Chains A and B, each alone.
Chain A
């Protein structure tokens, strides 16, 4: 199993989500986004540590998070996409949560006991994230013309990153559709099919956005290696 890939998805999404802290539409959303980011970060830390153990080169979670460059990061492209407006963020979260609930369900039965334990724990959290994303999708989709338009533009912008999530796990596509479609239908939204899906995150081929994210995330650790704060 691709432990490093799963770790990177959660690491990068946590960093991206935390950009909303103190900037979300209201205080409750600030707190919600921070909580969700924290869950993803906790999963990332556990999986990076586990990868370090499996690799056996003595790399710690911090080494792996802070001292790998863009081409060494293996997260899915959807995780690094900019937040855009709040509609686009919710679109990304709904798509990713709908995928991740199925992924954790599957990995909870993994023969890798550490991965299975992390997955079983993360599954409970992912379901809660999904509920939050689904609630907000409905609120935006059925809210005003403007909120519907923004959420729909978010889905259009992200549609090209959907297929990559299933490259390693074709079997998760059906569950994904079953979680996603009723919510979108209820919300008067559609996920368009993009004729040119983008992929490459797992091989370190990223969109331009990851480098900027890493520059912020890693600057302190790289400027002051070993710093404690």
Chain B
């Protein structure tokens, strides 16, 4: 069943579009949602990539289109690169959510505390992790490996 356009606003719908690699983070919390312009049922959504080659951008674009489309809107997704995304664009909520899900939020230096035992110091295993936005760390105290959301600014 197609819900009519009036039930949920584009903003409310976009809050339900998650990053495919960090499915607990909405694109708004991640800071890659740059603008929403609505004229009637037409919605123009502007997003920005976290990294130039982020392969998740195509999936995110499709998720936005299908989310809006299935609620009676006609979406148009635009990619904008300026100003460049930095980790300063993460919402405070995003930092809490990362912590809760076992990721260390970005830190200015690499003096990162382990998100599991809250102890430290952790050391860098690799500056590049399983996706472009993460680095791989290991806790010096409990020995547990964990992902750090890389500082980029």
Q: Which residues of A contact B (CB under 8 A)?
A: 28-29, 31-32, 34-43, 45-46, 113-114, 116-118, 120-125, 128, 131-132, 135
Contact = CB atoms under 8 A, between A and B. Distances in A.
Nearest to A122: B52
B83 A120 contact: yes
Given A132-B128, A135-B127, A42 B54 contact: yes
B72 interface: no
A121 to B, nearest CB: 4
Which of A43, A123, A124 counts the most B-chain CB atoms under 10 A from its CB?
A124
B86 interface: yes
Contact of A32 (B52, B81, B128): B128
Interface stretch (B5-13, B31-39, B129-137): B129-137
17 contacts: A28-B126, A34-B128, A36-B128, A38-B53, A38-B55, A39-B132, A40-B53, A43-B53, A45-B53, A46-B81, A113-B82, A117-B82, A117-B84, A121-B81, A121-B84, A124-B152, A128-B150
A40 to B, nearest CB: 7
B109 to A, nearest CB: 12
A31 B83 contact: no
Contact of A42 (B51, B80, B127, B128): B51
Interface in B52-105: 52-55, 80-86
Given A46-B81, A120-B82, A28 B125 contact: yes
A38 B130 contact: no
Contacts of A29: 126
B129 A128 contact: no
Given A124-B84, A135-B127, A39 B153 contact: no
- 3 shortest interchain CB distances as A-B pairs: A42-B53, A42-B52, A117-B82
Nearest to B55: A38
Contacts, number: 74
Contact of A116 (B49, B80, B82): B82
A28 B53 CA distance: 19
Given A120-B82, A120-B84, A125 B127 contact: no
B128 A31 contact: yes
Nearest to A29: B126
Contact of A121 (B49, B55, B136): B49
Contact of B81 (A35, A118, A125, A131): A118
B53 A31 contact: no
Given A34-B128, A125-B152, 14 more contacts: A31-B129, A32-B126, A32-B128, A38-B51, A39-B53, A40-B53, A42-B53, A42-B54, A43-B52, A46-B52, A46-B81, A120-B81, A121-B52, A123-B84
A9 to B, nearest CB: 14
Contacts of A117: 80-82, 84
Contacts of B86: 124
Contacts of A113: 82
Contacts of B153: 124
B82 A41 contact: no
Contact of B128 (A28, A46, A116): A28
Contact of B51 (A114, A125, A135): A125
